[in-house]
Chain A
Amino acid sequence: MRRLFRLLILLTLILAPAGMAAAQTGPQRTDEIEAELVSMSRWATPGGTTVVAVRQKIEPGWHTYWRNPGDSGGPTTLQWTLPTGVKAGDIVWPLPERQRLQGLVNYGYEGAVYLPVPVEIPASARPGSTLPLRVKALFLVCSDEMCIPRELTLGLDLPIREGAAPQDAAHGAAIARILEQARRPAGITARATLENGVLTLSATGGPLAGGDPGPTYFFPFESGTIDHAGAQSGSWGPNGLTLVLTAGGKMAAGGLTGPVAGVLATSKGAFEITAQPGAPLPGATGSGALAPLDDAAPTPGASAPATGWIVFAQALVFALLGGLILNLMPCVFPILAMKAAALAASAHDARHARADGLAFLAGVLTTFIILAGALLGLRAAGEAVGWGFQLQSAPVTAGLALLMLAVALNLSGVFHIGGGLQGVGSGPLSRLPGGAGSFFTGALAVIVAAPCTAPFMAFALGAALLMPWPMALAVFLMLGLGLALPYVAISLTPRLLSKLPRPGAWMDRLKSLLAFPMYGAALWLAWVFSNQTGAEGLGLLFAAGLAGATGLWLVGAGQGERALGRRGVIHTIAGAALLLAMLGAATLAARAPVEAPSADAGTGELSSAPWSAQAVQTALSEGRPVLVNFTADWCVTCKINERTSLTTPGVKRAMEQSRAVYLIGDWTRRDDAITAELQRHGRSGVPLYLLYRPGQAGPEILPQLLTEGVVVEALKP
């Protein structure tokens, strides 16, 4: 009997919270507002940060308020009740509408709106369980006539599972859009002055530089900063813009005593700025007046910031330039070697050269489309991936290393592709890169080279990822066009081709020479692979490489036999068997256990710490500048920058003098936090160099091609 009693108590204890939870989840409503706690992704992972949101559906004629409600009203407030270890952050406020009401202006929301909140899940959360999240939401719901405070208790039972979660089908995309648009410091510097009741804000840098920002509006975080109902006018210049505002009561009465913070909404997007008191910034005026914003117009920046046709055209041009410049980046050298060999061969057959060039172009464009499609698809499914994601996978790196080895062996003349009998007999170069070969070279160029971003590419890629997919694909196509353009242009210019020397023995020698960049590429990929997996994996990859090389040599020997009229069957079979062995070893290599990365790998003497937003804040709070290097082992540009510009004695001295902290964000393997941080700065790939200075709102973004001088100069106080 007693046991039964105990069992009953136990059952009640187990069932009671679940019953309570069920009563509170789902939409809750009053006459004016319906609210629900929803999640951006289908589940949360232990130790991760997930995003939930308070969804509001407001009846027509009613509204709720932004963090600064404007002339009247009050913001929505949330009081959380969370399981132990779960922490809810602040609301990521979506950009508000301006609501004019009898001479007053409020900042708020009508219709449907989400208030996203980041939630930290403790590492101890058990996969398979659910976490009950409860929140008491206080909405001040107002119409033109009256205000009603409404309190709703909302609940969400958040499933915990391992692995990256896909987006919630109903709400994920809408919440993600708010996160993308909201809070982008974006390296903007801002200053504020107050004179005779006029508050002048100047803001420069980042996305504000270079071009008309369109209608612009400043939403201050604090009420009393500006006259909310006052007109906002101003002008723009080469570096940014200047806004002239009527000071609000608090500002006019108390003066300008500290920084003015808020959201600057422009047609280029909305950006959080903190304007320090100080003289107006140069280059923030002079090119034209800011377009006036009338009441009927939607808040600028509220629509997707990157979908404007101007931004689209800009992204296309930058993509083409970026693709072109990519040809000069170290990542593409091995592929250029292949193309040079092909070009030398086909130079004196204009028709052949043309077909060759177009096949190469087709290869580049097709691969760009496939990669971009995969990238956009993964992102739509809620995966945090960025440009270059293909090289974050160890099996892909291993496969590419072996492929590079095979190409190099081919250039060394160990075996021939597609040549068959007649090939070996006549000049050995003539058939290496036929139509299929050229297409394949193009594909390879993209897979290996594209993860490196070049100057101008960063903007195009960042913008593309915020665009609707047809526009995004167009930007990717332009990148491909840029990458292929130099080679295509040469192959389509018979006059240029005829200037090349006639084929001869020199071509053989050139080809053998060009094999070495390919060997280099294979070694480099093997090194990347070793950093992704470990020494054991690398050993297996080397074994696979040796087996493959021997196999290909046997294949070549078989080809030679047949060229002499013999069968060469045994050699071919032996070759095929070895190729199989290579595949097996490569699979093993890819599955090799991942070792913890050794601290401070490859950064020379400069002492560094791993990047985290926390580390940046800690250093800044100690008053020290912070240099952040977002890098990846497979990013050749990053590695070259690190060798030439980040680890030199000069830079080391400058770092010591300014007491700077050096943080490294290693993106060699997938890291969602780094992906998110890159995105916050409008990037989708590495390298990215950020320099934070204490007391400044946002970091300065350093160029992608560094020199020692640039770094030393930037570190100067």
Chain B
Amino acid sequence: MPGQAAPAFTLIDSEGAPRSLADFRGKIVVLEWTNEGCPYVQKHYSGAMQALQREAAEDGIVWLSVISSAPGTQGHVEGESARSWKTRTKANATHLLLDPTGQVGRAYGAKTTPDMRIIDREGRLVFVGGIDDKPTNDVADLQGATNFVRAALDDVMSDRPVRTAFATPYGCSVKYADEA
């Protein structure tokens, strides 16, 4: 929930290096749950998501894309396929993190792809939920949609309280592993 402390985690990235949330203390962090095969993700990766990631990087914001798809499910990648993911999608995320057990996704309550989180410099969740207000998989709907992540990042950068701190997430279900 917005306002709460962001749960700590360590995940292996596409290069095989461990990344902890603690590594980015003092920086604004965006978490993005993704799944390349999901039509909703494909809508945003038609260019809009990459552009948002680039703008964020220019502002010194850390962007972590998280894949919580379990092995054998849609979107699951590891090793080489994880490395080629970034090339294929032309993504500008800082790191691509792999969460095959779904532990981190569940800790953050991620339900759909895309599902977004923004963590402020103090390590608090300031935005939770859907990327915009057009819950469709139609690329044409990117036009005229209000992008809540962009707005929230503007607010955090200018030390304003985030106006829309929660938006209902939409999209495909995160392909979690069966709960043990």
Interface residues of A (CB under 8 A from B): 69, 71-74, 77, 101-104, 106, 138, 140, 142, 145-149, 222-224, 248-250, 252-254
Bound Cα distance A101, B176 (Å): 9
Bound together, the chains give a CA A72 to CA B172 distance in angstroms of: 5
Q: Give the distance to chain A from B5, nearest Cβ to Cβ, in Å.
A: 16
Min CB distance A79 to B, Å, is 11
Contact indicator per residue, chain B 165-180, by CB within 8 Å of chain A (1) or not (0): 1111111111111110
Q: How far is the CA of A142 from the CA of B137 in the complex (A)?
A: 13
Q: Contact: A140 with B39, CB < 8 Å?
A: yes
Across-interface contacts of B12 in A (CB, < 8 A): none
Q: Is B137 a contact of A140 with CB atoms below 8 Å?
A: yes
Q: Is there an interface contact between B166 and A147, defined as CB atoms closer than 8 Å?
A: no
Select the stretch in B20-28, B84-92, B128-136 that faces chain A: B128-136
Cα(A249)–Cα(B3), bound, Å: 12
With A102-B179, A249-B166 as known contacts, state yes or no: A73 contacts B129, CB within 8 Å.
no
How far is B167's CA from A250's CA once the two chains are assembled, in angstroms? 6
A250 contacts B166, CB within 8 Å? yes
Chain B, Cβ-Cβ closest to A227: B109
Residue of A nearest to B43 (CB): A149
9 A/B residue pairs, CB under 8 Å, sorted by A? A72-B172, A73-B172, A74-B137, A140-B39, A140-B137, A149-B39, A149-B137, A248-B168, A253-B1
Q: Is the CB of A146 within 8 A of B170?
A: no
- Whether B1 contacts A252 by the Cβ 8 Å rule is yes
8 tightest Cβ-Cβ pairs between the two chains A and B: A253-B166, A224-B168, A72-B173, A102-B176, A223-B168, A71-B111, A72-B112, A147-B172
Could you say which residues of chain A place their CB within 8 Å of the CB of B111?
Answer: 71-72, 104
- Contact residues in B for A101 (Cβ distance below 8 Å): 173
Residues of B within 8 A of A254 (CB): 166
Q: At the interface, yes or no: B147 with Cβ under 8 Å from chain A?
A: no
Which of B129, B172, B174 is in CB contact (< 8 Å) with A249? B129
**What CA separation (Å) do A249 and B168 show in the bound complex?**
7
Which A residues are in CB contact (< 8 Å) with B168?
A: 222-224, 248-250
For B35, the closest partner residue in chain A by CB is A146
B129 surroundings in chain A (CB, below 8 A): 224, 249-250
Given the interface contacts A72-B171, A249-B128, does A147 sit within 8 Å of B38 by beta carbon? yes
Q: Are B177 and A102 in touch, CB under 8 angstroms?
A: yes
User: How far, in whole Å, are A713 and B109 apart by their CA atoms in the complex?
Assistant: 51
Partner of A73, one of B2, B73, B106, B173: B173
Is A253 within 8 A of B137, CB to CB? no
Q: How far is the CB of A32 from chain B (nearest CB, A)?
A: 13
Q: Is B81 an interface residue (CB 8 A)?
A: no
* Given A140-B39, A146-B37, A253:B165 Cβ within 8 A: yes
User: A145-B73, A250-B166 in contact; A106/B1 too (CB < 8 A)?
Assistant: no
The verdict on A142 contacting B166 (CB below 8 Å), with A71-B112, A103-B179 known, is no
Query: When chains A and B are docked, how far (Å) is the Cα of A401 from the Cα of B6?
Result: 82
Enumerate chain A residues within 8 angstroms of B172, measured Cβ to Cβ. Answer: 72-73, 142, 146-147
Main secondary structure of the interface of A (DSSP, over half): mixed
B10 at the interface (CB under 8 A from A): no
Contact of B146 with A by CB under 8 A: no
Q: Which range holds the interface residue count of chain B?
A: 20 to 34
B contact set with A: CB distance below 8 Å: 1-2, 37-40, 73-74, 102, 106, 109, 111-112, 128-129, 135-138, 165-179
Which A residues touch B167, using CB under 8 A? 250
Identify the closest chain A residue to B39 (Cβ): A149
Q: A145-B74, A146-B74, A149-B39 are in contact. Are A72 and B177 (CB under 8 A)?
A: no
Query: Quick one: which of B2, B135, B175 contacts A145, CB cutoff 8 A?
Result: B175
Residue of A nearest to B74 (CB): A146
What is the distance, in angstroms, from A483's C-beta to the closest C-beta of chain B? 55
In whole angstroms, what is the CA distance A669 to B135 when docked?
Answer: 48
If over half of B's interface residues share one DSSP class (helix, strand or loop), that class is named, otherwise mixed; here it is loop
Docked-complex contact A103 and B176, CB < 8 angstroms: yes
Nearest CB to that of A140 among chain B residues? B137
A138 to B135, CA, bound (A): 13
Residue from the list B2, B38, B135, B171 in contact with A253, Cβ < 8 A: B2
**A53: shortest Cβ distance to chain B, in Å?**
23
Q: List A contacts of B174 (CB < 8 A).
A: 72, 102, 104
Alpha-carbon gap, A224 to B112, bound state (A): 13
With contacts A71-B111, A72-B170, A250-B166 known, what are 10 further pairs, Cβ within 8 A? A72-B174, A77-B136, A102-B173, A102-B179, A140-B137, A147-B40, A224-B129, A224-B168, A249-B166, A252-B166
How many angstroms between the C-alpha atoms of A103 and B174 in the bound complex? Answer: 10
- From B172, which residue of chain A is reached at the shortest CB distance? A147
Max count, chain B CB within 10 A of own CB: residue among A77, A142, A146? A146
A77 contact set on B, CB distance < 8 A: 136
Task: Give B42's nearest chain A residue, CB to CB.
Answer: A149
Chain B nearest CB from A249 CB (Å) reads 5
**B58, chain A: closest CB distance, angstroms:** 29
- Cβ contacts under 8 Å, B73 to chain A: 145
Contact of A74 among B2, B135, B179 (CB under 8 A): B135
Distance in Å from the Cβ of B103 to the closest Cβ of chain A?
12
Q: A562 to nearest B CB, angstroms?
A: 88
Once bound together, how far apart are the Cα atoms of A77 and B136, in whole Å?
10
For A147, list chain B residues within 8 Å (CB): 38-40, 137, 172
Q: From residue B104, how far is it (CB to closest CB) to chain A in Å? A: 14
Q: Taking the nearest CB of chain B, how far is it from the CB of A310, in angstroms?
A: 37
A140 to B174, CA, bound (A): 16
In the assembled complex, the CB of B102 is this many whole angstroms from the nearest CB of chain A, namely 8
| Cβ distance B8 to chain A, nearest Cβ, rounded Å | 21
Contact of A102 among B136, B170, B171, B175 (CB under 8 A): B175
Looking across the interface, which residue of chain A has its beta carbon closest to that of B2? A253
Separation of A77 and B1 alpha carbons in the complex (Å): 31
Query: What separation, in Å, do the CA atoms of A517 and B2 have in the docked complex?
Result: 76
Per the bound structure, the CA–CA distance linking A72 and B175 in Å amounts to 11
Q: Distance in Å from the Cβ of B171 to the closest Cβ of chain A?
A: 6
Closest A residue to B1 by beta carbon equals A252
Question: A248: nearest residue on chain B (CB-CB)?
Answer: B168
The CA-CA distance from A252 to B165 in the complex, in Å, is 11
| B106 with A103: CB separation less than 8 A | yes
In the complex, which residues of chain B have a beta carbon less than 8 angstroms from the beta carbon of A223? 135, 168, 170
Distance between A262 CB and nearest chain B CB, rounded to angstroms: 14
A33 nearest CB across to chain B (Å): 15
Pick from A74, A149, A224: contact of B166, CB under 8 Å: A224
Contact indicator B39/A104 (Cβ below 8 Å)? no
Write the nearest CB–CB distance from A152 to chain B, whole angstroms. 15
Residue of B nearest to A222 (CB): B168
User: Which residues from B are CB-within-8-Å of A145?
Assistant: 73-74, 175
Which residues of the other chain, A, contact B135 by a CB distance below 8 angstroms? 74, 223
Chain A hits for B169, CB < 8 A: 249
A73 contacts which chain B residues (CB < 8 A)? 172-173
Chain B contacts of A103 at CB under 8 A?
106, 176, 179
Residue contact B136 to A253, C-beta cutoff 8 Å: no
Partner of B178, one of A102, A142, A148, A248: A102
Question: Closest residue of chain B to A72, judged by CB?
Answer: B173
Nearest-neighbour CB distance to chain A for B6, whole angstroms, equals: 15
Q: Most chain-A CB neighbours within 10 Å: which of B136, B173, B174?
A: B173
Question: For B179, what are the chain A residues with a Cβ–Cβ distance below 8 Å?
Answer: 102-103
Smallest CB separation, B177 vs chain A (Å): 7
Nearest chain A CB to B93 CB, angstrom units? 22
> With a CB–CB cut-off of 8 A, which chain A residues contact B166?
224, 249-250, 252-254
If A145-B73, A224-B168, A253-B2 touch, does A106 touch B173 (CB 8 Å cutoff)?
yes
- How far, in whole Å, are A254 and B1 apart by their CA atoms in the complex? 11
How many angstroms from the CA of A147 to the CA of B112 in the assembled complex?
12
* Most chain B beta carbons < 10 A, residue from A102, A149, A254: A102
- What distance in Å separates the Cβ of A145 from its nearest Cβ neighbour in chain B? 5
Q: How far is the CA of A148 from the CA of B42 in the complex (A)?
A: 11
Contact of B136 among A74, A222, A250, A252 (CB under 8 A): A74
Q: Which of A72, A248, A250 has the most chain B CB atoms inside 10 A of its CB?
A: A72
How near does chain A come to B142, taking the closest CB pair, in angstroms? 15
CB distance from B107 to the nearest CB of A (A): 12
B37: nearest residue on chain A (CB-CB)?
A146
